Amino acid sequence: MVKSPLYGVLGTALVATAVLVPTSAAQAVVSPDISVTNTKAHLDQLQSIATSNGGNRYTGRPGYLASANWVKSKLDTAGYTTTLQSFSTSAGTSYNVIAEWPQGDANHVVMTGSHLDSVSSGPGINDNGSGSAGVLETALAYAASGQVPKNRLRFGFWGAEELGLVGSKYYVNNLPAAERAKIELYLNFDMIASPNPGYFVYDDNPAGNGARDDLTSYFTSKSVQTEYIDVQGRSDHAAFRSLGIPTAGTFAGAEGIKTSAQATKWGGTANTAYDACYHRSCDTISNLNLTSLDRQIDAIGHMVWNYAQKDYGPGTPPTGPNLLQNPGFESGAVNWTGTSGVVTNSSSKPAHAGTYKAWLGGKGVTSTQNTGQSVAIPATVTAASLTLWIRIDTNETTTSTVYDTVKVQVVDGATTTTLATYSNLNKNTTYTQKTFNVLAYKGKTITVKFLGAEDSSLQTSFVVDDVALTTS
């Protein structure tokens, strides 16, 4: 039996406003245009910090702490959760500034960083005011964009890189193993506006990885040719790399000499250093190529925006006790509220385990049903997942039209959030497990709810069993 055209039209019209896109759907990500004007203003600020503090921003000198405090205050104002992490070095106390955007799955962290310190001989505007200003502006632009990241974005501004990657090593060595494991990628930006620029990409892993390739393709799409360079652990990504965390980065060149072939493809001057002021007092606000800066910050933006949405999978749900009562429905509707008859041991649909389950839909007449349970998620948890098993069978034959749906919802006071919508198009007659991150509800009492809706013919059965809300 096929639905009449009129029926199809009506059905579509009725559900069109109600059906939400599943949160797991791939979202098209547009790359931002990171403002070179704003980034240049950050560089002016770093120059003036150096100028008013003896001409440098070196570890243990006031120009470094002033740089760190200034970066931190910009990120605080934008809504980041920030930390000033201090550590000692042979040149005195230094600091890392760590900033995390408060949204996104904390089990999947995408980290972007740059060193904020200069050498003692100068203000360090290309090395590495440029990377710091670019990463800072990208973080500020992300905060202002209203994007909701799938993953957790974290930014690091390292102290004492010039003393041997001291800050980044201190950071990774002081991360608990479980926290290290959550960092999916570290992106490094050190010297991105060299006055005679090259366009180098690296990852310190000659076999390559996805992120370096993404940088290469991004530049190619902007008609900028790149070269792979083995930087031999000369910047902060090496600290992450040594723990097995994938890394990638870009580099406009330091003391190395531009070849004639490179001058042909990139412009600039052959047989001259990429940055003749590298580690010298002349690495000032005049020591920048703004075209390089502009291209490089857009590449940072491209990577941050895209990796924010990258699908790293649901991860392993935390293994703490199940906070739901009667989670497999084996005591019938006990602890579950909603439409009577939804929790059933009817022999016509198999349970995932035992005999009882929640059967939404299956009637083939216009109707809605729901079942739900209230649960308090402690404020102190660091991970919280909702998992469930679902099987879907249907008499609908369409491969394109949604007629019947079930929604997995979280009711938080007056706000109902749909975590996923499944429909007759998701027919799947073996049970599959779904996982949702519900950490955003820590400290709240929420209702986990399943809401089924059918149209007037051709049943779809959504059978849910063995629901768990676990935390750690």
Question: Using CB under 6 A, which residues numbered 398 to 437 contact ligand PHE?
Answer: none
Token pair of 200, please?
Answer: 């180098």
Distance between CA atoms of residues 341 and 345, nearest Å: 10
Question: Using CB under 5 A, which residues numbered 108 to 127 contact Zn ion?
Answer: 127
Q: Which residue has the tokens 């800050």?
A: 167
SS3 per-residue string spanning 51-86:
HCCCCCCECCCHHHHHHHHHHHHHHHHHCCEEEEEE
Give the residue among 247, 249, 240 at the shortest CA–CA distance from 219: 249
Q: How far is the CB of 22 from ligand PHE (least distance, A)?
A: 41
Does the footprint of ligand PHE cover residue 203 (CB under 6 A)? Answer: no
Q: Is 313 left (phi over 0), alpha (psi -120 to 50) or beta?
A: left
Nearer to ligand PHE, 109 or 191 (CB): 191
First to last CA, the chain: 49
Nearer to ligand PHE, 70 or 251 (CB): 251
What is the identity of the amino acid at 138?
T
Distance between CA atoms of residues 223 and 239, nearest Å: 32
Q: How many H-runs (helices) and E-runs (strands) does the chain carry? A: 10, 18
Size of the site for ligand PHE (CB under 6 A): 11
Nearer to ligand PHE, 249 or 327 (CB): 249
Whether 161 is a known active-site residue: answer yes
Q: How far is the CB of 105 from ligand PHE (least distance, A)?
A: 30
Question: Do 70 and 99 meet the contact criterion of CB atoms below 8 Å apart?
Answer: no
Q: Give DSSP secondary structure letters for 81-134.
A: EEEEEEEEETTEEEEEEEEE-S-SEEEEEEEEEEE--B-TTS--IIIIIIHHHH
Does the footprint of Zn ion cover residue 190 (CB under 5 A)? Answer: yes
Question: Do 421 and 22 meet the contact criterion of CB atoms below 8 Å apart?
Answer: yes
Distance between CA atoms of residues 374 and 445, nearest Å: 7
Q: How far is the CB of 70 from Ca ion (least distance, A)?
A: 58
Q: How far is the CB of 159 from Zn ion (least distance, A)?
A: 12
Which region, judged by CB under 6 A, interacts with ligand PHE, from 3-11, 229-237, 321-329, 346-354?
Answer: 229-237
Q: Which residue has the tokens 């001409």?
A: 55
Binding mask of the shown chain, residues 69 to 108, with x at each position contacting ligand PHE by CB under 6 A: ----------------------------------------
Which one of 94, 126, 128, 409 is in contact with Zn ion (CB under 5 A)?
A: 128
Which one of 161, 184, 204, 396 is in contact with ligand PHE (CB under 6 A)?
A: 161
Q: How far is the CB of 191 from ligand PHE (least distance, A)?
A: 5
3-class state of residue 460 by DSSP: strand
Which one of 254, 299, 343, 458 is in contact with ligand PHE (CB under 6 A)?
A: 254
Instruction: Name the binder of 328 from ligand PHE, Zn ion, Ca ion, none, CB < 5-8 A by kind.
Output: Ca ion
Nearer to ligand PHE, 33 or 255 (CB): 255
Nearer to ligand PHE, 239 or 467 (CB): 239
Nearer to ligand PHE, 122 or 452 (CB): 122
Which one of 47, 130, 226, 235 is in contact with ligand PHE (CB under 6 A)?
A: 235
Does the footprint of ligand PHE cover residue 190 (CB under 6 A)? Answer: yes
Distance between CA atoms of residues 404 and 14, nearest Å: 11
Nearer to Zn ion, 47 or 128 (CB): 128
Distance between CA atoms of residues 292 and 289, nearest Å: 5
Does the footprint of ligand PHE cover residue 251 (CB under 6 A)? Answer: yes
Q: Give DSSP secondary structure letters for 409-425.
A: EEEETTEEEEEEEEEGG
Pick the catalytic residue from 137, 161, 162, 184: 161
Distance between CA atoms of residues 137 and 74, nearest Å: 10
Nearer to Ca ion, 274 or 450 (CB): 450
Per the DSSP assignment, residues forming a β-bridge with 447 are 374, 411
Largest CA distance in the chain: 84
Residues in contact with Ca ion by the rule CB under 5 A: 328-329, 351, 354, 356-357, 465
Q: How far is the CB of 230 from ligand PHE (least distance, A)?
A: 10
Instruction: Name the binder of 251 from ligand PHE, Ca ion, Zn ion, none, CB < 5-8 A by kind.
Output: ligand PHE
Cis amide bond preceding 128, omega within 30: yes
Distances (CA, A) of 23 to 27, 175, 413, 432, 434: 9, 30, 21, 17, 12
Q: How far is the CB of 202 from ligand PHE (least distance, A)?
A: 7
Q: How far is the CB of 409 from Zn ion (least distance, A)?
A: 49
What is the identity of the amino acid at 63?
G
Q: How far is the CB of 292 from Zn ion (least distance, A)?
A: 15
Instruction: Name the binder of 234 from Ca ion, Zn ion, ligand PHE, none, CB < 5-8 A by kind.
Output: ligand PHE
Question: Do 57 and 64 meet the contact criterion of CB atoms below 8 Å apart?
Answer: yes
SS3 per-residue string spanning 331-399:
CCCCCCEECCCCEECCCCCCCCCCCCEEEEECCCCCEEEEEEEEEECCCCCCCEEEEEEEEEEECCCCC
Which one of 234, 280, 427, 444 is in contact with ligand PHE (CB under 6 A)?
A: 234
Instruction: Name the binder of 231 from Zn ion, ligand PHE, Ca ion, none, CB < 5-8 A by kind.
Output: ligand PHE
Which region, judged by CB under 6 A, interacts with ligand PHE, from 172-180, 227-235, 316-324, 431-439?
Answer: 227-235
- Residue numbers at the binding site for ligand PHE (CB under 6 A): 127-128, 161-162, 190-191, 231, 234-235, 251, 254
- Indicate which residues carry an active-site annotation: 161
- Residue numbers at the binding site for Zn ion (CB under 5 A): 127-128, 190
